[in-house]
Amino acid sequence: MKHLIGLLITGLITAAMGFTLSGSLNPGIRADASVREQQVVDGQAVPAPDNPTPSQPAVPAAPAAGATLYQVYGSYEFQPTDSNLTYAPYGAAMYAVTVPGGTPSFKCPLHLPNGAQVSRVSFYVVDNSAAANMTLQFYRSEPAANTSQYEIGFVTTAGLPTSTAVQTVTIYGAPILAMIDTLHYAYSLRYQPSIAGSLHMLVGARVEYTAPSAYLPLVMK
């Protein structure tokens, strides 16, 4: 009998010691799924901070109707319309290397929302030639109707001083150059080089326009 009582007491003491070691007197060690990773700071173990949930990027609001907006185009967006019209880059600029006969040009398509009102088009150029000028144009075509191109406006570098610096020439509206109609027309910026070489270089362009009253798709019955 004494032997059985001794065994029971020993078992109870062992169980109590196991419970103490597993958690009740050592709260830093837990055997459940909620245990957090630990890191050592100044020689002491502390819980690692929770990983924050990545925030979702804010959706930009549509510009208000009538707001003035800008779209900038780099020189690399102007592509030759003739395979014999070759060119070379010069940093962010480009210049014609070979200019064939006819009227080959570099064109850059405009992708503006339907209903936008274009008020001005600026070209960034380098004109270091005392003998020739650069001509920059804003064009429109109606592919479903004909093969013609319509010049909305143009500007030359005739009034600029000869320089290796980047200068700006602008086509101004009075006050509007064009109302964008994506149902019928395609729009482009055009540069027709008059000489080959780096005395004439196109650096880019900027279109200024006002936002349309609504950004809705065109629906036809």
Q: Taking the chain (221 residues) in consecutive chunks of 10 residues, what is each chunk's mean pLDDT? A: 52 50 46 53 63 65 82 98 97 97 96 96 98 98 97 97 98 95 97 97 98 65 49
Residue 221 located in a structural domain:
no
Residue 216 located in a structural domain:
no
What's the confidence (pLDDT) of residue 213? 79
Residue 57 located in a structural domain:
no
**Residue 107 to residue 95: CA distance in whole angstroms:** 13
What's the confidence (pLDDT) of residue 6? 55
The model carries a pTM of 0.70
Question: Which residues span the domain enclosing 84?
Answer: 68-210
Residue 19 located in a structural domain:
no
CA neighbor of 154 nearest in space, from 200, 205, 218, 199: 205
Residue 9 located in a structural domain:
no
**Residue 217 to residue 183: CA distance in whole angstroms:** 10
What's the confidence (pLDDT) of residue 40? 60
What is the count of structural domains for the chain?
A: 1
What's the confidence (pLDDT) of residue 19? 43
Instruction: Read off the CATH number of the domain in which 101 is found.
Output: 2.60.120.260
